[in-house]
Amino acid sequence: MSAVRLSPPSRRLLLPIVLSGTFVQLFSVTVMQVGVVDVQRDLRAGAAETQLVLAAYTLTYACSLIVSARLGDKYGYRRMFVTGMALFTAASIGAAAAPDAWVLIAARALQGFGSGLMAPQILSIIQSAVPADRRPAALSAFGATMAAASLAGPVLGGVLTQLDPLGLGWRAAMLAVVPVGIAALAFSPALPSVRGGREPQRVDPAGAALSLLGFALLVFPLAMGRETGWLPWTWASLALAAASLTGFVHSQRRAADPLVQPSTWSEPATRRGLVAVLVFNAGVPSFTLLLSMHLQAVKGWSPLQTGLSLTPYAVGALAGSRIAGNRRLGPRALAASSLAMGLVSVAVPVLLGDDDLLWLYWLALCAGGVAFGVFTASAFTRIIARARPEAATSVSGLLPTAQQLGGTLGVTFAGMAYAAPAATASGALWHGMTYEATVFAFAAALCAIGGRTATRPPAAVLGGEPVERGDRSRRTG
């Protein structure tokens, strides 16, 4: 089955439009990590409210991904992408205008929901509209966009907070994504009108309710538990999350139209790939977060200096994504990338402890960025290529879910390791980076084991049932 045919202008616009969604998703996470201190002061927010400003986005984003993937099948990938981008852009304006912390929290939750609607459609559109021979390059651009957004958030957030244009401060950082959203909406008619099956599919209500509830009960205590001292309600929430997600898995086996196709789990390469993505991402966001915390709180660097200090990491990630897009890299490359991230994690405390070694620190960060770029682009390419055609939509929802849950778990556990009793600040950094090295070593082991047991060759064509633009059949959305 060939990819949907597009006009030359639409082919040129497709990736910039859909990857704008990836950019604003990650930008909105990292920019708030830099601006949260100013938010707390400006809105007179308490500790719990401040944490909710960060957690509300993660909560609604993670909860909505699997259901959003199926909504794309039912109503069309373009329609759901546009809906998500419109909601995200409006919520960003609302966040910038928030008069108090609770309005900001509500706006952040809507931002996360809009991002959750967009994320699965991005991968589904790439699968259905990009020819098979160009998908690796498209997915390398996807990884490069993640790297660029991760850098732009803290850097631009630090610049806008420090310059304070028109007295807006952190509000200007919230508005920075609005022009991107408006441009994506303006050019969205160039996206193909396609959905995932020959007939519109029913959204399983029981599965949707159980997945939304389960992920909400899982993410919320993970985001809030450390700040609140792991009160009894956090443990009760985690227990209920386990019960809800177990019920979700069982419901998918009996559902006529499951949110996650059973064949997704029957393919060993897909299972192992999703687990590897989750484990690897349990180290990636927390790695840069620990560095930001340490550089500001211990080294005394400003938010702008801290953001700029991550430039070698982002440059390396761009290069790594390019390398992965130009070559067919196997599981050994995934294992080597994970191992390289572990070695960089071990090196960081040593190099930051001596100002004369800072130049080696920049080189280590660049190497870590290359490893991140290679892993992300290669892993996504391999998982999507080996997924069964009928499971493509499920994989499009599960990949960002694995990323997000891995990142949430990582931030929680890395923060606990960093906050553990230590004789010195350098000791705290060693604790955090030991956690990072352990996670990356585990990811390397998973990739190495998966590489030895993988037997099924990549599928020739993936994605949903494509249609040409302008097709008025029931397949269009």
- Return the pLDDT at 238: 93
- Return the pLDDT at 164: 76
Write down the domain spans for the chain: 8-191+259-453, 205-258
Question: What's the pLDDT tens digit per position in 154-175?
Answer: 778 777 877 778 878 888 888 9
Residues in the chain: 477
CATH number of 8-191+259-453: 1.20.1250.20
- Return the pLDDT at 466: 40
pLDDT by 10-residue block (mean), the chain, 477 residues = 61 88 86 76 80 84 86 88 96 93 93 92 85 80 79 77 79 90 92 67 79 87 81 92 89 78 74 89 86 81 76 85 70 88 92 81 91 85 74 80 86 85 82 93 87 49 39 41
- Return the pLDDT at 415: 84
CB 136 within 8 A of CB 325: yes
Q: Which two tokens stand for residue 121?
A: 């459609």
CA distance 77 to 118: 9
Give the list of residues 6+ apart from residue 84 with CB closer than 8 angstroms, or none.
Answer: 21, 68, 113, 114, 115, 116, 117, 118, 119, 121
Kindly provide the b/e burial profile for residues 81-97, where b requires at least 16 CB atoms within 10 angstroms of the residue's own CB.
bbbbbbbbbbbbebbbe
Question: What's the pLDDT tens digit per position in 247-276?
Answer: 988 887 777 777 777 777 777 778 888 899
CA distance 36 to 41: 9
- Return the pLDDT at 367: 93
